[in-house]
Structure 1
Amino acid sequence: MLNFEETIVGCLRNQSKSKEMVYKSFYGYLMAVILRYVNDRDDAEELVNDAFIKIFNAVKQFKFPANKEEHQKAFKAWISKIASRTAIDFLRTKRNLMSIEEIVEEQEPLTEINIITALNVKDILKLLDALPEIQKLIFNLYEIEGFSHDEIAKTLNIPESSSRVYLTRAKNKLRTLYSKTIANAYATY
């Protein structure tokens, strides 16, 4: 049994067994990343496979961090970015994104970010599907993937202020949806 570092080196050498190990080890993880962007399972499976092709073609670009304990964590972060960009490219080609307008932050009322204490990640992920595509995309990129507004703006070719506004709208809508979900839950008792 190869250790993680040997498996990645095997991928660099184009060894099928190493690639298979990486594929089996990270398939579920990348599927979860992709499903945050697309709702159709068939599309997601295809995108995961596309992401793995990109990963194996670019594996020589992955740099192991100095701390050996961080190797797998760094690799997961690296492949996650590849998978999220693969999903974004897919969404662009399908033109599922609603028209992205240039929005100036002053046009949107600023609301204080005030997370509901009972809100958890699973609840948010369930509610994300109710968001408009562009809000869902920017929420995923910023809050889950850790992209900056500048990176999002460059990736989506929109002004940075639009990214901020769409994120604010997404958070506000998620709060509203979550509140309704809680209210409905209490109403059924």
Structure 2
Amino acid sequence: MTPTTDTRLNTLWEGCLKNDRKQQEMFYRLLAPKMLAVCMRYAKDKDEAQDILQEGFIKMFKHMHNYRGEGSLEGWIRRIMVHSAISRYRKAKTMVLVDDFDEQGIPVIISYNNNTLEVNDLLRLVQALPKMYRSVFNMYAIEGFSHQEIGSKLGMTELLSRTTLHRARTILKDKLNSLAVRERHCLAG
């Protein structure tokens, strides 16, 4: 965020703390697009991401007096969004691992032209992962949680977190390879 946006955010935050509904709405409108992007990484589609976003903002407004000014306000809200996604995962979790993916241990070489891969394409690939794989991948690769933290938050062992991350990466590599093959066929044909 720019300094003027930070100033505006802080001004709106003061209004939010005073329960000024207009300030709360403007605060929401200012941060919602950025927080929706965070939620999209955990959701299977935009509808689910919007649900997570709403749950996150409800929690944030309910507990806004808990923000002590340590770290950035935006970072604090981002953590709430991530925790809302994790909570949603826990509620919907069925602890059945379906191992229908090939685990042959063959190294995958990706020769995909990164210039043609759009952010939205990557987001769709991550969203297509099974829910547990998507959650572990995002928490580890994007949010920076350790496997121990992931295990604690998602109710799994550290080993299962590591295994799930490995499988998620394998699935993503396979999908990227498939895209690369399709692109080469399109260019050749």
TM-score normalized with structure 2 length: 0.77
Alignment of 1:135-154 (within 5 A): 135-154=133-152
Greater mean deviation of Cα atoms: 108-117 or 135-144: 108-117
Deviation at 1:33, TM superposition (A): 1.8
1:130 to 1:13, Cα distance in 2 relative to 1, 3 A:
same
Write the letter of the residue equivalent to 1:85: H
1:126 to 1:16, Cα distance in 2 relative to 1, 3 A:
same
Greater mean deviation of Cα atoms: 139-148 or 6-15: 6-15
Deviation at 1:112, TM superposition (A): 8.0
Deviation at 1:34, TM superposition (A): 1.7
**Aligned counterparts of 1:100 and 1:151: Cα–Cα separation in 2:** 20
- Whether 1:26 and 2:23 are equivalent positions in the alignment is no
What residue in structure 2 maps to residue 99 of structure 1?
A: 96
- Whether 1:184 and 2:182 are equivalent positions in the alignment is yes
Deviation at 1:47, TM superposition (A): 2.4
**Is the Cα contact below 8 Å between 1:98 and 1:132 reproduced in 2?**
no
**Aligned counterparts of 2:154 and 2:130: Cα–Cα separation in 1:** 15
**Is the Cα contact below 8 Å between 2:17 and 2:64 reproduced in 1?**
yes
SS of 1:126 mapped into structure 2: helix
Superposed CA offset, 1:136-166 (max 9, x none): 1100111112222121111011111111111
Deviation at 1:15, TM superposition (A): 1.8
Aligned residue-pair number: 175
What runs of 5+ residues in structure 1 fail to find an aligned partner? 66-70, 102-107
**Is the Cα contact below 8 Å between 1:7 and 1:21 reproduced in 2?**
yes
What residue in structure 1 maps to residue 19 of structure 2?
A: 14
What residue in structure 1 maps to residue 52 of structure 2?
A: 47
What residue in structure 2 maps to residue 105 of structure 1?
A: none
SS of 1:188 mapped into structure 2: helix
What runs of 5+ residues in structure 2 fail to find an aligned partner? none
**Aligned counterparts of 1:99 and 1:110: Cα–Cα separation in 2:** 22
Write the letter of the residue equivalent to 1:160: E
**Is the Cα contact below 8 Å between 2:112 and 2:180 reproduced in 1?**
no
Deviation at 1:5, TM superposition (A): 2.0
**Is the Cα contact below 8 Å between 2:110 and 2:176 reproduced in 1?**
no
- Given candidates 57, 62, 76, the residue that maps to 1:57 is 62
**Aligned counterparts of 1:79 and 1:114: Cα–Cα separation in 2:** 38
Deviation at 1:183, TM superposition (A): 1.1
Deviation at 1:124, TM superposition (A): 2.9
**Aligned counterparts of 1:98 and 1:184: Cα–Cα separation in 2:** 34
**Is the Cα contact below 8 Å between 2:44 and 2:131 reproduced in 1?**
no
